[in-house]
Amino acid sequence: MTNKDNTTAVEQSFELQKIYHKKSTFDAPNAPAVFLDEWKPSISVDLNTEANRISDTTYEVVLTVKCKAKATNSDTQLFNTTVEQAGIFEIEGYEETEIMALVGSYCPAQLYPFARNHISSQVLHGGFPQLLLAPVDFDALLDDAIKSADQESQGSETNDTDDEVEVI
């Protein structure tokens, strides 16, 4: 393919090569006593993504999902579960900003249903009622992370603020 300047343009391609569990853990530290109480949990979910360049066009993207459940009326820990769901993606012909959007949003969105299913299975097999995690807008999370990083870099350049911004 050539463009107006008679230079060769690289064709864009995006391929999912592999999806796999990198790591998973489940812990019910207060079992069996927690099964005797009424089921009123307070559940927190933390998400984290990481992208590692394996070669010029190959990336490993790892989505880490952590769920913690506590009894609502006490600090009793019901369960903790962590799943690291990973994928290998072949990405070629994109600009760096487009690659950042793909590995920061699109790739984790492809991995999330697998992680969500694995967490649901772990919780169910741990003796607890089924846990259904809500869908996640990874585009919005990436936008928030970029805005927070921009604010932090501007804050460190001007030293106007010491506020910390937490990005999920």
Measured CA to CA in angstroms, residue 74 lies from 77, 78, 91 at distances of: 9, 10, 48
Q: How many domains does the chain have?
A: 1
Domain span at residue 143 reads 13-152
Distance separating alpha carbons of residues 119 and 86, to the nearest angstrom: 14
* Mean pLDDT to the nearest integer, 123-138: 94
151 alpha carbon, distance to own chain's centre: 22
Lowest mean pLDDT: which of 48-57, 68-77, 80-89, 120-129?
A: 68-77
Report how far residue 43's alpha carbon sits from residue 141's, in angstroms, rounded to the nearest whole number.
20
Q: Give the residue among 141, 142, 165 at the shortest CA–CA distance from 153.
A: 165
The verdict on residue 49 lying in a domain is: yes
Whether 1 is in a domain gets the answer no
Q: Is residue 85 assigned to a domain?
A: yes
What is the structure's pLDDT at 40? 86
pLDDT for position 157: 54
Domain CATH code at residue 123: 3.10.420.10
CB burial of 94-126 (b: ≥16 within 10 Å; e: otherwise) equals beeeebebbbbbbbbbbbbebbbebbbbbbeeb
Both tokens of 66, joined, read: 């952590």
Residue 154 pLDDT: 80
Dist CA 80 CA 62 (whole Å): 19
pLDDT in tens, 22-39: 999 999 999 999 998 888
pLDDT in tens, 111-124: 999 999 999 999 99
The answer to whether position 31 is within a domain reads yes
Residue 8 lies in a domain: no
pLDDT for res 74:
83
Tens of pLDDT, residues 68-81: 999 988 889 999 99
